[in-house]
Amino acid sequence: MPTELAAPEVATRELSYAEAIREALAQAMEADERVFLFGEDVGVYGGAFGVSGDLLQRFGPERVIDTPISELGLAGAAVGAALTGMKPVLEIQFSDFVTLAMEQIVNQAAKIHFMFGGKASVPMVVRLPGGSGTGAAGQHSQSLEAWFAHVPGLKVVQPSTPHDAKGLLLAAIDDPNPVLVFEHKLLYKTKGPVPAEPYRVPIGSAAVRRAGRDITIVAASIMTLRALAAARRLAAEGIETEVVDLRSLRPIDFATIAKSVRKTHRLLIVYEGVKTMGIGAEISAMIAESEVFEFLETPIARLGGADVPIPYNPMLEKASVPQEDDIVAAARRLVLEGIA
């Protein structure tokens, strides 16, 4: 029987996703005085979602900095600090507000290492709480990660578990290049095993969360959890699902995806961002352009967000992004009927 492959059981204690991020920040700041956290309400308030907590009391206002409301200015400050030897971690209060900082992230941070002939690097991290499900409507609920995965020079990660939230953030802080960490708001209270000591989850490595033989579901962030829940329901019907958690959108671990598809011969890609021109389209193209395409017995299926702004109404909000029932139906259709 297939099994769900959990994070390594190095420690028995459990932390929430938010606590794991806070611990990563604290350990990075303890280990390297160049690391500092800044953003709107990260200090006295403890973060809009309570992630930074008591870091201000532990490290002081010079390393946990409350800032004015100016995302473009904050991103520019992060670029400048990184260029002068610091290791800034910038929190954008809602990922939607990163639209105001696009120039500094896309035109400056992403390009400086290349345009300076490798003589400069920008070791900055941008933390981005995103996703729907909190009733925050169209301007506070988007999933914009595919935008940044399109940009050479940027790395983009989406942890789905507390274990990976800590390990990927520490890896991002170590990285000499700019890394965007998209944290789903609904995951902050989820719990899981997290080792107490510092550790790194390599950027660019996917994880097989559940082994199966009939269909591969590729997902990331909260969609990984929904895919696992769907896989348990499908197993009761005799459909054994392999779930691949991307963890990293750029670079992407195509080898792990390809290995799974060679085994199952079917592929469903699930993501919260708008379906059109989303990460599912890129993975589909990568499969179609490779020898793995010959292993497919059915068309590739994409299950993404609807082409609408996220609604405020709770029922419409749920309908605008894939839910567990949608994943079950799409996988069942692909396995039993052979249609996307």
Active site (annotated) includes residue 291: no
Among the listed residues 314, 337, 318, 338, the one whose alpha carbon sits nearest the alpha carbon of residue 226:
318
CA distances from 172 to 83, 92, 111, 149 (A): 16, 16, 18, 15
Q: State CA 228 to chain mean position distance.
A: 16
CA nearest to 313, candidates 187, 93, 188, 138 = 138
145 token code pair: 């990660």
Task: Please tell me which residue in 19, 23, 40, 71 is annotated as part of the active site.
Answer: 71
**Cis before residue 251, ω within 30 degrees of 0?**
yes
Q: Which of 140, 183, 240, 282 is catalytic?
A: 140
Annotated active-site residue 71? The verdict is yes
Q: Which residues are marked as active site?
A: 71, 140
